[in-house]
Copies of this chain bind each other. A is one copy, B any other.
Amino acid sequence: MAAANAYYSLAELAERFGLQARGIARIHGVATLSRAGQGELAFLANPLYRKELAGSSAAAVILREEDAALAPCPVLVARDPYVAFARIAALFEPATESTRGIHASAVIDPSAQIADTASIGPLCQIGPHVRIESGAVLGPGCIVGAGCTVGEGSVLVARVTLVTSVCLGKRVRIHPGAVLGADGFGLAMEAGQWIKVPQLGGVVVGDDCEIGANTCIDRGALDDTRLGEDVRIDNLVQIGHNVQIGAHTAVAGCAAIAGSARIGRYCLIGGGVGIVGHLSICDKVILTARSLVTHSIDQPGQYSSGVPLQESRRWRRNAARFRQLDELARRVLKDARNNNNDKDPSSS
């Protein structure tokens, strides 16, 4: 694991991040409980890993008060060890080297406005009327099409494509292969042929958003597709035209949100979740992995769909019965009615 040259005492870290230090250690890097060695700080947040604590060779561990007694080494006690770890690990991140200015191999339209403090990497292509604001960094191979804006301090890691009419806020981070501003999937059938419905809107991405590798966010058909501030999108996610996602919502890998869906603030959309178009999901909704949402949700809470994994031999028998579930239910309810002792649960 990469580590800078800096050393920090446990006491310094405790003071800096509002934690409580017990014991003395000098820290020069971070690692997992099972791998950490001399001078390395580990953390215990997920209870799954509690069993690794006693045997850890870490110089110190960040953990909750209730786990402190189990640690074989000095500790930093934190209310939220994962947050504390994130803060401290950032001290040891190697600085990324980006050179101010425009690489000689980049191809820049003369009408583009590029801030002096921005960095445009090798083999980038910047189209007409683009604006790249101060401190923005474009890694190698990025394409920024006509009329796009990359806000202050935003980073396109490498090979990002902003097709057209994309406006990124400040400190947005986009990973390789992501495509923002491609045409939405707008089709109308006429006389047995598809007609392409013109896609004329843009994509607006709020401050502090992060967008994963090979994720697609289509431009709006008429209005814009919009992400609020601090929205976090993982890899290979599809976001259709005119979708709106509220601030601080996180979307895990391979999720797909169809056109014109509106997602609230502080939602957690699990991996592989599907959301059909033209519906609304209110704030603070959690969708577990691979759920499919076909109706609007207007109550915060956690929602799921799907059936559990089984050995294929047993699963096949159960799955076959699903085809007769309505018929079976009718029999059960008829028996119940005949026994005169109950009512249809579907009416409850």
Contact = CB atoms under 8 A, between A and B. Distances in A.
A25 to B, nearest CB: 18
Identical copies of this chain, number? 3
A328 to B, nearest CB: 5
A38 interface: no
B312 A303 contact: yes
B253 A258 contact: yes
Main secondary structure of the interface of A (DSSP, over half): loop
Interface in A188-211: 188-190, 192-198, 200-201, 208, 210
A2 B321 contact: no
Interface string A59-87: 00000000000000000000010110111
A179 interface: yes
A238 B216 contact: no
Please tell me the size bucket of the interface on A.
Answer: 35 or more
Interface stretch (A6-14, A112-120, A130-138, A285-293): A285-293
B161 A161 contact: no
A229 to B, nearest CB: 9
Contacts of A31: 222-223
A32 B161 contact: no
A15 interface: no
B161 A143 contact: no
A290 B292 contact: yes
Contacts of A183: 175
Nearest to A140: B125
A315 B310 contact: no
A323 B305 contact: no
A196 B86 contact: yes
A24 interface: no
Contacts of A322: 307-308, 318, 322, 325
Contacts of A37: none
Interface in A309-338: 309-329, 331-333, 335-336
Given A46-B278, A86-B188, A195-B87, A311 B302 contact: yes
Contacts of A309: 291-295, 303-305
Nearest to A344: B324
A234 interface: yes
A232 interface: yes
Interface string A144-176: 011000000000011101010100000001011
A24 B182 CA distance: 35
19 contacts: A1-B222, A30-B222, A86-B196, A103-B107, A141-B143, A157-B182, A177-B179, A177-B214, A185-B253, A212-B216, A254-B274, A271-B274, A305-B309, A306-B319, A307-B307, A308-B320, A310-B323, A328-B329, A328-B332
